[in-house]
Amino acid sequence: MAAITMGIVDVRQPLADHEGRPHRLDQGLQSGVWRHDLMQEVAPDLPVVPGPLSEYRQQASFDWKQLRIALEDPEILRIKMNLWRKLEADPVFAHPRVTPPMEEQKKRVAVQLRRFLELNIIPQEVHNYSYKDKTKFMMAINAATSSWNKNLSVKFGLGVSLFTNALLSLGTERHLPFYDAVWDNRFLFALGMTEVGHGSNTKQVRTTATYDPPTQSFIIHTPDFEAAKCWAGNLGKTCTHIMLFAQLITADDTCHGLHAFLVPIRDPETLSPYPGIRVGDIGEKIGLNGIDNGFAMFDNYRIPRENLLNRTGDVTAEGEYESCFQNPEQILGAALENLLAGRVAISQESTHDLCTAVTISVRYAAVRKQGGPRNAKEELSILEYPLHQWRLFPYVAAACVFKVFIGDFTDQYLDLVEQSYKGAEMKDLTSVAAEVHAMVSATKPLITWTCASALQESREACGGHGYLKASQLGIMRADHDATVTYEGDNNVLLQQTSNWIVRNWPHAIQGNTSAILDASPFGTLHCLINAEEKLKEEFTGTTVDDVLNPHFVKSSYEWLVCWLTQSLDNQLQKLKSSGLDRFTARAQVHAFYAKPLALAYGENSALSYFWEKLKTPELPCEIRSILERLYVLYGLWGIQRNLALFYKGGFASGSKMADLIQEACQAVCGTLKPEIVAVIDAIAHPDSVVKSILGRSDGKIYDHLYDAYMSQQGNTGRPTWWHEVSAKTQSKL
Ligand SMILES: Cc1cc2nc3c(=O)[nH]c(=O)nc-3n(C[C@H](O)[C@H](O)[C@H](O)COP(=O)(O)OP(=O)(O)OC[C@H]3O[C@@H](n4cnc5c(N)ncnc54)[C@H](O)[C@@H]3O)c2cc1C
């Protein structure tokens, strides 16, 4: 059977420019200086408006534009900026001031998706890029679309890009027409794994696909309501098909496990559901109401045999099941890509949201003045308060660390998938797959949770005005919330990471460095090398400078990961020797051992990528200085949260470490205060994307608030229902 190969070309091509300009921005680097016009494209000048924001900007020791291109690949930035310009210019993508009714929200997003595809945002030539460049392009478009309107990116992701990605890895030549129909906007897909009774434990999904040799068809059936497919985006009202995951059963009654099928749901011309399916919308949600999340129940519903996605297993016309693992490297690569691309994309989107959250709250904090010393001429900007700095600056540092981590990790990961697709011999592919899986299972929770708490903190940091819809923080908080659950519940994912780490612990205690190197081609387990030596380390610092440096952060995190791994291993051994089975023992250690380990490992991995960035020789020294301080702040923030573990594990005793960490946290925030507005400028999206009256680059919060108060239709007139409540009508009763 031939796998679908269109879109995967042998020769790598650089990202092309669709508008006739130089191929890559780095061609604009002349004698170490960026060409002005190219820099303007990715980092346009900010408005010069006298006021607190511009005063803080003047205090910065570095050029925010240089930081912007140090934190993100300029070519990716350019793709995003181009897209935002297109969306801004088209009224179809305008944001309504007042939330429309639910049905209207769904219609708007569906119409936007149609326009999005018509606009040729993914030009035809992108399909001819190398796998890596194509995926990077698509991921950049996805992240940028998500910041514009998360509903639209979810609708596009599920219906088009994630689906076609999954089709490429699970399907074969015979499914090509579906690929083309989706890109031509004739079909729209949903992805149906979750059922009413089962989500995380996908193995127990109960929808069946039973092969019927006489008719050469699969009979799709939902045994009861608990087996109804649910939550699938686009399924409620708009999809024409679903990529359905069901238990494949052959005529001899053998169950071959979960397989994916392409199942028609609605007539593409009328959008009427086909007979044999009960399908509908699951109703209003906490957020993302532009998406029609739906349910579906199948009543012995037939689909052709060929609709089985048969790259890994097929059923012959006569009904024989055939496993198709002829080339394990390619299959593993396909599985890698299919499973993880969605989670990597969520991490990219969440990093965008995190940047927007702090853009709003830090700019607001710079402009907002409240309180101050008794005889001061002016009130203080709330940014001046150490508490406010401690509430917000660590999230700014996290945004920068995640930006670098997710960009560089995505590059590495896509390189590997591309090599495996090309059939390159990769002796360590199994290790790569395991490590990438563990990393993504830790960093998706880490990034989405950090973003969720940043949104909450930012909302509170903007006080009452933050609660106004026009601040944007409430909408983002509601829409972002789902990311901690979909594509794998965060708490469940973390267990997969800790299982992998603890499996490698025996190598660490045996001092088997080469086994660790083999198990961790990406290097995220290198912190376990010399674990025994590391675990003997103790805190010896005496001054704040002893903790206020990247080396302290690095070695402390390495100690923490080693100690948590050792503790998890000890606890598991203890529980198993007391007679507990593996499943129960793992469940027992989840809360206090596995989860903290997986999160510390995720933080350490993100910090390691940032550490590599700090070592880049081309970095201007003022940019390195700012990155170093952001690294230290993010690290100390985590160490401070985990202080109890440093004491419990014997790394620290007495009050010295706690005191110095506290002092260092406050000190690093203090040195970042004059820089922070410029750091925000480096990570901020354009005003039209941030969409917040509190977070605009001109800092004119009160002007924008005034507009918001005055421009809402009817808000200064008397209510249309005045007569139902007025004193006049009451007195007549
Ligand atoms: C907005 C949104 C969109 C979605 N879109 C889709 C879609 O397009 N297609 C689709 O198929 N699905 C979709 N889903 C469903 C989503 O994938 C599931 O909700 C998710 O996988 C979690 O499953 P669940 O809801 O059944 O939760 P459960 O698995 O029941 O989990 C409930 C709680 O129990 C905990 N828990 C579960 N198992 C364990 C364990 N072993 N140990 C410890 N704790 C555990 C979890 O941490 C969680 O907090 C969507 C969900 C949302 C919210």
Residue bearing the bigger pLDDT, 453 or 2: 453
Query: Does the structure show a pLDDT above 70 at 21?
Result: no
Rounded Cα distance, 507 and 515, in Å: 6
Task: Show the CA angle centred on residue 172, arms to residues 168 and 175, nearest 5°.
Answer: 85
What does the pLDDT read at residue 732?
A: 55
CB of 200 sitting under 6 A from ligand 1? yes
DSSP-assigned beta bridge partners for residue 295: 280
**Percent of the chain beyond pLDDT 90?**
82
Interstrand relation of 189-192 and 294-298 (parallel, antiparallel or unpaired)? unpaired
Interstrand relation of 241-249 and 229-232 (parallel, antiparallel or unpaired)? unpaired
Q: Ligand 1, residues 486, 496, 584, 589: which to mutate, most atoms within 8 A of Cβ?
A: 486
Tell me the mean pLDDT in the region 14-42: 55
Identify the active-site residue in 487, 558, 603, 675.
Answer: 487
Residue 538 bears catalytic tag: no
Rounded Cα distance, 449 and 457, in Å: 12
Known binding site for FAD: residues? 194, 233
Residue in 106, 109, 38 with CA at minimum distance from that of residue 77 = 38
What does the pLDDT read at residue 337?
A: 59
Q: Which protein residue has the closest C-alpha to ligand 1 atom 45?
A: 492
Query: Does the structure show a pLDDT above 90 at 423?
Result: no
Contact between 447 and 350 under an 8 Å Cβ cutoff? The reply is: yes
Q: Rounded to the nearest 5°, which phi and psi values hold at 394?
A: -60, -30
Kindly state the tokens that stand for 300.
Answer: 């012995």
Contact between 243 and 192 under an 8 Å Cβ cutoff? The reply is: yes
Give first-to-last CA distance, the chain, whole Å. Answer: 81
What does the pLDDT read at residue 36?
A: 78
CB of 199 sitting under 6 A from ligand 1? yes
What is the rounded radius of gyration, in angstroms, for the C-alpha atoms of the chain? 27
CB of 242 sitting under 6 A from ligand 1? no
Rounded Cα distance, 434 and 63, in Å: 40
DSSP-assigned beta bridge partners for residue 315: 321
Please give the mean pLDDT across all residues of the chain.
91
- CB neighbour list of residue 689: distance below 8 Å, 6 or more residues apart: 84, 144, 147, 148, 356
Express each pLDDT in 463-474 by its tens digit.
999 999 999 999
CB atoms within 10 A of CB 86: 14
Kindly state the tokens that stand for 284.
Answer: 């209003």
Kindly state the tokens that stand for 100.
Answer: 């429309």
What does the pLDDT read at residue 12?
A: 25
- Taking the complete model, does pTM exceed 0.90, yes or no? yes
Rounded Cα distance, 218 and 264, in Å: 13
- Please give the ipTM for the structure prediction: 0.99
Atom nearest to 491 CA in ligand 1: 47
Query: Does the structure show a pLDDT above 50 at 253?
Result: yes
Tell me the mean pLDDT in the region 568-595: 97
CB of 204 sitting under 6 A from ligand 1? no
With cut-offs at 50, 70 and 90, classify the pLDDT of residue 731: low
Q: What is the DSSP string of 116-128?
A: HHHTTSS-GGGGG
